[in-house]
Amino acid sequence: MFQVDYFLTRNATCYPDRLAVATGKGALTWKELDGRATWLAQALATKGVRKGMRVAVLWHNSIEWALIWYACQRLGAVPMPLNTRLLPEEIVRHVELAMCEVMFCAARFTAAAQSVAATSELELLIVETSPATDSLEAVS
């Protein structure tokens, strides 16, 4: 059985210069996506994220969202995307029901993330520090 990570690695090898992800703010080739997903996975591993951990993701559609998703796959962690239109108390409920141990949060959802952190048992909360920069660099 194939893992999602296999397809990222295969595409980075077979089609390194082809477009993998694109938004109005940027784009990554398969090789770039693979490299950055590896970097983020390693950074998360040093923070204690491991196989089987559930990772809540409160993030808008973006390249960073794809990187978080692939990094989780690479580690064997389970990404759990959250609807960005949920109210803070609904987010708390989803995170608790899914037993998430880690949460990624884009800067615009900081208030909601703080509600989650205050009322749940998250081991790690990663909040985007500056939406204008490559905010995932704060993880390392």
pLDDT in tens, 5-49: 899 999 999 999 999 999 998 999 999 999 999 999 999 999 999
Give the C-alpha separation, 32 to 23, whole Å.
15
Q: What is the pLDDT of residue 135?
A: 60
Higher pLDDT, 65 or 121: 65
Give the C-alpha separation, 62 to 14, whole Å.
24
How many domains does the chain fold into?
Answer: 1
Q: At what angle do helices 63-75 and 4-14 cross, to 10 degrees?
A: 110
Q: Are 118 and 103 in contact (CB under 8 A)?
A: no
Q: What is the pLDDT of residue 125?
A: 81
Closest CA to 83 of 101, 67, 98: 98
Whether the predicted model's global pTM rises above the 0.85 cut = yes
CATH code for the domain of 130: 3.40.50.980
**Residue 114 is inside which H or E element, if any?**
helix 110-119
Per DSSP, the residues of 66-112 read HHHHHHHHHHT-EEEE--TTS-HHHHHHHHHHTT-SEEEE-GGGHHH
Q: What is the pLDDT of residue 117?
A: 86
Is it the case that residue 111 has pLDDT exceeding 90? no
Residue 102 CA from chain centroid, whole number: 10
Please report which confidence band the pLDDT of residue 130 belongs to, taking 50, 70 and 90 as the band edges: low
Which domain covers residue 41, as residue numbers? 4-139
Give the C-alpha separation, 71 to 34, whole Å.
9
For residue 56, the SS3 value is strand
Please report which confidence band the pLDDT of residue 136 belongs to, taking 50, 70 and 90 as the band edges: low
Please report which confidence band the pLDDT of residue 4 belongs to, taking 50, 70 and 90 as the band edges: confident
Digit-coded pLDDT (tens) for 61-110: 999 999 999 999 999 999 999 999 999 899 999 999 999 999 999 988 88
